[in-house]
Structure 1
Amino acid sequence: MSKLEYLVYQNSGKLNDSEIRVIQFIINNAKACKGLSLTELARKLYVSRSAIFRLCKHLGLSGYNELKFHLNEVVQEKEQNNISKFIPDNFDASIIKEIENLHKNFKVLKLDEFYNELSNAKHIYIYSTGWIQQMLSDYLSHELLLFGISSIVLPAAVSELEMVGKIAEKGDMLFIISYTGNNKEINDELGKFEMVNNKLRYVSFTDLKQNKLASLSDYNFYYPTVKFSSSNDVSFILAYTLVDFIINKFGIWQKEKSDKNGK
């Protein structure tokens, strides 16, 4: 379920029959609708501009631009689901194998510099590019808090990234949790940061090792996903496992540092 579909489900009681038909059409035809202006979409649906704007408000969106942002996510999810038709029938074996590979690759990472910057960051922001990734953001924020590190989980809107770019201070960290790491709108926004505010340190979490987001980031963590249904749905359980690996090792790093300083 995309974030937009979740918002429709969550706010269904606020929508009238006309609004439900409109948003269903928009979601079902996301690729065609996401490139339209507000005027063009209103004309296509035979409704007023204000009717679409009210629909956005009823869904908890700031306006039409945020609706288009979520439509882009819907399109990306559909395209990702069509990448491969191969569905493994040995999900449990695949999970075990990928956990072993994840642990093997994680053990060789040199994380002292990352943990040092994480400990010293005055502000930590966590941004995600989809609804499932948003839940992972909340989980990461909770795990960091267990070790006394507070963070700000940002809503999945480009305007939130723009705000961070304007207010970030030297040493602040921005975690970005993505699926492929190739969201052009997000990556373009990060590119703008370098021109107006190069104080942020970027930490990316993606499924693909080679992607644009990773190339823009100071630290990159990769989590594998495993298909588990005939509809090409994937499990993100290994992304949570990766967070656990990072946080567990951070706790060990903190203790070793404390013991060393106490001598």
Structure 2
Amino acid sequence: MSSLSARIFEARKKLSDTDEALVKQLLDDPKGNSQLSLAELSEKLYVSKSAIFRLCKKLGLSGYSELKFELMRTFDETEVESTIDIVDKTAGILKGVIQQYKHYNCEPFFIGLEKAGTVYLYSTGWQQELIANYIAKELFLVGKNTTVLPSAFDELRRCSSWAKKDDMLIIVTFSGNRERLYEELNKIRLTNNRLNIVSLTRPGANKITSISDFSLFFDTIDFSTYKGFSNEKISFSPAYVYVDLLINEYYLWHNNQKEQNNGEA
């Protein structure tokens, strides 16, 4: 019997971008997802039931019941993952970050960032706040004005009133599915359409990306399956690699644009 990972590999040429995002979400929590009904999984992942059925067919599964079985089997296999070298796992994920970055068309984001007089940053959670502060520091070093907002909705609303045309608001939130944050950003959309919203979340469709002008994604490294680690040992180091790639390439792009403009003058 083929494992789920083997089925995914064999079907990789048939999978659309939407399918790949769905696979990523399924494998992020195989145990939890395997315990949900079709309707519950559809609601959790913000995809239609038919999209899940289509994926089952592409993977050669008989239906949703077999998908649930394979997800549970995947979880059981990862429970013994402690024999895998942590260095190899980290290197593999960081390699994936680089590959993902190479396939992302950065120029529209760079143009938006170039126009922004001020870049505001808002985050949810302690780890995301550290990432937001890191982004602010890196942007400052390449000449951008930044303001890191406290994690309070009142501050988010004030940002909406302060913002000028083409200013940018970067939202750093791991899940991307915080309902209250989604509601607040929707209000900002209605009251201030001058502000460009950028989401930085884990890969896959979510509420925050659905209302963002630009969607950026970062992976994490889950060490919780290794013996001796806690159940929530998650590393956010791939996010910092992604930010480094993005900001450094922006700086090169910015300098290239400046040289071209000087050459035309």
* TM-score, with length taken from structure 1: 0.65
Which residue of 1 is the match for residue 172 of structure 2?
Answer: 177
CA distance in 1, matches of 2:181, 2:262: 43
Give 3-state SS (helix, strand or coil) of 1:151's partner: strand
Which residue of 2 is the match for residue 25 of structure 1?
Answer: none
Is residue 179–residue 208 contact of structure 1 (8 Å, CA) maintained in 2?
no
Asked whether 1:262 is paired with 2:257, we answer no
Which residue of 1 is the match for residue 251 of structure 2?
Answer: 251
Which residue of 1 is the match for residue 141 of structure 2?
Answer: 146
Is residue 205–residue 222 contact of structure 1 (8 Å, CA) maintained in 2?
yes
Asked whether 1:220 is paired with 2:222, we answer no
Q: Counterpart amino acid of 2:87?
A: D
Q: Alpha-carbon deviation of 1:207?
A: 1.2
Q: Counterpart amino acid of 1:99?
A: L
- Equivalent residues in 2 for 1:3-152, closer than 5 Å: 86=78, 88-89=81-82, 90=84, 91-152=86-147
Q: 1:126-155: CA deviations, max 9, x gaps?
A: 000011111111110000011111200011
Which residue of 2 is the match for residue 231 of structure 1?
Answer: 231
CA distance in 2, matches of 1:195, 1:254: 31
CA distance in 2, matches of 1:156, 1:194: 19
CA distance in 2, matches of 1:165, 1:262: 35
Q: 1:74-133: CA deviations, max 9, x gaps?
A: xxxxxxxxxx89564333222211111111111122222211221121221000001111
CA distance in 2, matches of 1:117, 1:262: 21
How many equivalent pairs are there? 180
CA distance in 2, matches of 1:179, 1:144: 21
Which residue of 2 is the match for residue 52 of structure 1?
Answer: none
Aligned-residue Cα RMSD (Å) equals 1.6
Asked whether 1:198 is paired with 2:200, we answer no
Q: Counterpart amino acid of 1:106?
A: Y
Q: Counterpart amino acid of 1:255?
A: N
CA distance in 1, matches of 2:214, 2:255: 22
CA distance in 2, matches of 1:202, 1:186: 13
Q: Counterpart amino acid of 2:109?
A: F
CA distance in 1, matches of 2:159, 2:194: 11
Give 3-state SS (helix, strand or coil) of 1:169's partner: coil
Which residue of 2 is the match for residue 210 of structure 1?
Answer: 205
Is residue 224–residue 238 contact of structure 1 (8 Å, CA) maintained in 2?
yes
The 4+ residue runs of structure 1 with deviation greater than 3 A are 84-88
Is residue 117–residue 144 contact of structure 2 (8 Å, CA) maintained in 1?
no
CA distance in 2, matches of 1:204, 1:94: 26
Q: Counterpart amino acid of 2:179?
A: K
Q: Alpha-carbon deviation of 1:244?
A: 0.3
Give 3-state SS (helix, strand or coil) of 1:96's partner: helix
CA distance in 2, matches of 1:100, 1:173: 29
Q: Counterpart amino acid of 1:253?
A: W
CA distance in 1, matches of 2:222, 2:154: 32
CA distance in 1, matches of 2:256, 2:164: 28
* Structure 2 unmatched runs, 5+: 1-74, 224-228
